[in-house]
Structure 1
């Protein structure tokens, strides 16, 4: 893959694409489907197309990279949440933070699902972390943003005001 980057730097786009395509084929043959090296290779191919001002083609590869990274992040969080459920009390703050992180991932693609995880995190923070109001306020802000994205502005404002109250603003 480094050779592909050298050719990209020299603006030898055809050679760069050839090397990245070979690397991608090799990686797909020996690595797990969601491996970060495959994502990096897809991103590099996107860079070549972007340098060629072929933005639509570049976007295709960037989107594949994003989806792979998003799926990998979600898989890690779901696994972490499962481990936490076994090893920690149900309302442990770390479970709240993991739920909030999953909400962050979903907020890019599925606002309704993001709200489910944000609400679960918020419940944990409100019960278990009264001495750490910033975590609760941050989670309220996440809820507010999603409600705003959904066009339910009164609900968004309710969460935003509650966050500001907690922070003493």
Structure 2
């Protein structure tokens, strides 16, 4: 049976550092090192991560950046199994689960475990950071910001993973629409990472990517493209996560051919099927903008192949069929193919409002009041459900 984690009381005769066996997740317990100067317990000697852990965390960042969530989960689980008392690992696990919509409960659970360990080890800075992160997950951005600012006031150059604190403040400033401040904190996070461990290229990529996002929010698309490119380059072109934002920025700048080239490059390094579906759908839309309908239709079909639950390919494929019908000198034909595609999408996709809206429009155009009314009622129900979830 596992022992509960307890913080032992220290006498006044302690040396500068001492080791104590404190029960954790394993039956044998884990030696924590007490530092009298900071009045904290450390998992590692001199509060320095071992090389094997640094390597595994770099792999974890890589897997997350290419949206290889299966290997990312395996990687962080491996770290936790070896160092179950290290609160930072549970934070990283929560950060990963935050990226996976179906793992929201595990996100909170991981963060609370990280907070539990950090507080028991008397790490005030990280206890404040993790408390702020939990508020951030609950969209209480101002409260989260207060916790982060207090953590920053108590931090110093010896604070473990100080770059993560600056990164979180950058995120929260962005949520509060203070984009200039947000960029400043991402720059600081990047600077610390470059000076402490420049081998963590994927972490630095996330900083560049987020600076690019800030420029996008400030409607400076040219600068956003520049920083998205830095994110791609620092990761040697292997992180699919950073391509998508650059593709969207290039599209906004009407640099369509470049955007298509980046779609092709992203596909080569993308593993996640949902991400591949999004890339093919993006490429199809780019061909649509170039009025190359056959290629657009081809890539939307490919997008549906990789992720059946993504509504956008069904919507465009339906529109594509209608467009062809209208220009084929066969206007007496019923748009059966278009209707079939939409109805298939409605049965499969999680997000279906746009598909139902399209069906309503088609049936109204055809004068089929019965089917039009049926889908109009369905549309009202879907929108009511959406409003209920938002509130």
Bin the TM-score by the shorter chain: 0.5 to 0.7
Which one has the largest radius of gyration? Answer: 2
| RMSD of aligned alpha carbons | 2.1
1:107 deviates by 0.4
Quote the Cα distance in structure 2 between the aligned partners of 1:159 and 1:133: 14
Task: Look up the match of 1:103.
Answer: 170
Deviations 1:72-100 (CA, angstroms, capped at 9, x unpaired): 21111112222222xx34xx672211111
Quote the Cα distance in structure 1 between the aligned partners of 2:210 and 2:183: 9
Task: Look up the match of 1:131.
Answer: 199
Contact 1:144 1:159 in 2 (8 A): yes
In the alignment, structure 1 segments of 5+ residues that lack a partner are 1-64
Task: Look up the match of 2:225.
Answer: 157
TM-score (norm 2): 0.24
TM-score (norm 1): 0.54
Deviations 1:21-77 (CA, angstroms, capped at 9, x unpaired): xxxxxxxxxxxxxxxxxxxxxxxxxxxxxxxxxxxxxxxxxxxx85xx212211111
Matches for 1:111-130 after TM superposition, within 5 Å: 111-130=179-198
- The answer to which structure, 1 or 2, has the higher relative contact order (CA under 8 A, 6+ apart) is 1
Task: Look up the match of 2:213.
Answer: 145
2:147 is equivalent to residue 76 of structure 1: yes
Quote the Cα distance in structure 2 between the aligned partners of 1:143 and 1:153: 12
In the alignment, structure 2 segments of 5+ residues that lack a partner are 1-137, 238-391
Contact 1:99 1:117 in 2 (8 A): yes
Quote the Cα distance in structure 2 between the aligned partners of 1:142 and 1:167: 14
The SS at the match of 1:142 is: helix
Aligned length: 100
Quote the Cα distance in structure 1 between the aligned partners of 2:147 and 2:215: 26
Hey, which of these two has a bigger chunk of helix by percent? Answer: 1
